[in-house]
Amino acid sequence: MEAIMDIIGGLLMVGGACFLLFGGLGLIRMPDIYNRIQAGSKTTTLGTLLTLAGAACLQPAWGWKLLLIGIFLIFTNPVSAQVLASTAHRRGAHQSPLTEVDRLAEDREGKA
């Protein structure tokens, strides 16, 4: 039984690490800041959560503390992503020419 849990935990951690790798790849490949934030925030959240779940499978005694770290990450990761995105937009960060519509910029101009 314990051996099975160990294998599941190890595989969860490898899977989480793969998502982190996709996030890093997205960070390099994406053309502008908003797409990079998307790649960075989603993949790191799931990747780290899977790693924490894997660690909980290997060491059930650490479960509560790992859960606490997980809860914290679920709440803070998207908040920092959103704060970065809104700051970048306010300071007029470079936008990819692929961007089709920007309602926020339109509304800002309309008010100004």
Token readout for 29 is 């490949």
Please tell me whether residue 1 binds other proteins under the rule CB under 8 A: no
Q: How far is the CB of 98 from other proteins (least distance, A)?
A: 6
Distance of CA 76 to the CA centre of its chain: 10
CB of 92 vs other proteins, minimal distance in Å? 10
Torsion region of 92: left, alpha or beta (phi above 0 gives left; psi -120 to 50 gives alpha): left
Nearer to other proteins, 44 or 109 (CB): 44
36 in contact with other proteins (CB under 8 A): yes
Number of residues that bind other proteins (CB under 8 A): 86
The footprint of other proteins on residues 93-112 (CB under 8 A) is 93-94, 96, 98-105, 107
Q: Is 23 in the site for other proteins (CB under 8 A)?
A: yes
Spatial separation of the C-alpha atoms in residues 58 and 48, rounded to whole Å: 15
Question: By CB under 8 A, what part of segment 41-80 binds other proteins?
Answer: 41-48, 51-52, 54-55, 58-59, 61-62, 64-69, 72-80
Cα–Cα distance for residue pair 4/76, rounded to 1 Å: 33
**Which residues in 49-78 are b (16+ Cβ under 10 Å) and which e?**
bbbbbbbbbbeeeeeeebeeebeeeeeebe
CB of residue 35 vs other proteins: minimum separation in angstroms? 6
